[in-house]
Amino acid sequence: MDRVALRGLKGLGHHGVFPEEREKGQIFVVDVVLGLDTRPAAADDDLTRTVHYGVVAEDVVGVVTGEPVDLIETLAERIAEKCLQHETVQEVEVCVHKPDAPIAVPFDDVTITITRSRV
């Protein structure tokens, strides 16, 4: 299976369990790796036979900026579901970064990574 990756997609989301997270919001960063067979598109040089990564990027950011959820696990699941709606995508790995998570000690990032497929 071939891979198309989008890294560092950013959006202001209002996700989290604390009221201040819901009110103020924060930037979430998302990486997605899409698994698909790119041979048909490459053979015909035809965008319609692959995944349009510009559209996927807009979809992902739309989920991030959309309906708030408590957990980044839920956010990752919703992003994966959205990516799998694209016909050629057979598998997706989603990594959601929450670099401004409300943690009381110094840290660089909090992430969750999930993999989902059409099985």
Q: Using alpha carbons, list the distances in angstroms from residue 74 to 62, 63, 69, 118.
A: 15, 11, 7, 18
Known catalytic residue at 98 = yes
In Å, how far from its chain's centre is CA 107?
22
Instruction: Give the DSSP letter of residue 40.
Output: H
Instruction: Give the DSSP letter of residue 47.
Output: G
φ, ψ of residue 109 to 5 degrees: the values are -165, 155
Annotated active-site residue in 10, 24, 82, 98? 98
Q: CB–CB of 98/72 below 8 Å?
A: yes
Catalytic annotation, residues: 98
